[in-house]
Structure formats: structure tokens, C-alpha cells
Amino acid sequence: MTSKMLKRVLTVSAILGTLIIASILYRVISKSSPTFLTITSPQKTYVISLRGQKDRPFFFTVQVRFDVLKNGTSFLSNMYFHSGDSEDPSFESEYPNHRWTDENTIQFYRQEYFDKANPDTLVVVNKTGEAIKYARIDSVDKVLLFDMQPGATAKLETPRSRGDLKSINIAGEFYNNRQIEGINKDFSVHTELRPQTYNVYIYADRTMVEVLH
């Protein structure tokens, strides 16, 4: 190996080493990030804590994660909620508002998006024979549902899309730690159309989304 080639190898190795160390440090710091928001459900069943980086990063991809207490006992720990990089809007700018639509369902949103147009409707149905520990639905807003019993239905208003597509991403798990068969789907929308209803059906082996015009 020539000295020129050796220098190149050492340079590349140094860059990769720096990136690996920076990545490890970032992960360590992220896991120990302080809580920036704590929310209690109306009947005090659930306490949700959000932690991570709520503002836009200068570098790397940052995350917001959540922990949940149920009746004072740990229910969910270190769960993924949001991620973004320097090209994405910050968490705090996209979801400055939150509300419980019932004791088991919380929605994070931006009120401005509701004010601009009549909202769509989101309907989530548990089509399985077992309880869903939690489900996360990402769209223009973010929704968390807890303890969704077999056959249960959750219904809430959701902001209209701000463009030609409305994305719906669904994830979660059952009580036996088995993951919901998630889905990430885009739907074509037109601003001149009336609000849409998005029916989400969670089955044991699949998740479906049906759009009613």
C-alpha cells in the first residue's frame, strides 16, 4: 500500500470513527433526555411523559419518546413517538396542542390546521379478540389509544391534509407484546372535496384503512 493510499484509508477511518462515536453519544444522551411534557388523563388513569428533543436539530435525526403510567404503575416505557431532522418542522411547532378525546385517547395537533378547513373523521376499530395495549396513529396529527378492548371503536376529528396526499401510519402492540401489523399508506385528496372519513380496522394479522367520501 502506498503512502497516499494509506493516508486516504486513515482519513476515511477517522471520519467513520468520529461519526460512530457521535452516534453513540447521541443515543446515550437521547435515552437520558429530560421530560418536557407531562399529561394526565381526565380521570387520572394515565400519566404520559414526553422526552427527547422537541425543537429542530442542527444535525442528526432526533426523537421524541414517551412513557406511560397507568394507575401509578409503569405501563409503557421508552416508546417511539416522533422523529425529525434539520429539514423537518420541529415537534413543538407541529404539535403544540393536545387534548383527551376520552379517557383512553389523546390527540396531539396544531389548532391552526383545524381552523383552516372542516376536519376529517378518524374511526379506529379493534377487530381482534384481544385487547390492544396501545396504538399510535400518525397523520397530520398524532393519536395515542390505550387499552382498546375487543370490538371497541374510537372516533375523533382529525385535521384535513395540507396538500394532495394524506398519510396514515399505524403502529402499536397487544398485551402479549406482539406488535400490531402496522400500515403506512398515502391517500390522494383534493381540497375542494368535502371532509373524508378514514376507518381503521385493526385485525390480528393485518391493518386496513377504508376511506369514505
What tens digit of pLDDT does each residue of 49-62 get? 999 988 766 557 78
Tell me how far apart the alpha carbons of residues 179 and 156 are, in angstroms, rounded to a whole number: 24
pLDDT (mean) for 190-196: 77
127: left (phi over 0), alpha (psi -120 to 50) or beta: alpha
- What number of CA atoms fall less than 13 Å from residue 151's CA on the CB side? 1
CATH topology of domain 103-213: Immunoglobulin-like (2.60.40)
Residue 71, CA distances (Å) to 41, 55, 145, 174, 194 in order: 11, 31, 16, 19, 41
Return the pLDDT at 180: 96
pTM above 0.85, yes or no: no
Mean pLDDT rounded to a whole number for the chain: 86
- Domain ranges (residues) in the chain: 1-32, 33-94, 103-213
What tens digit of pLDDT does each residue of 76-104 get? 999 999 987 666 788 998 999 999 999 99
Return the pLDDT at 114: 95
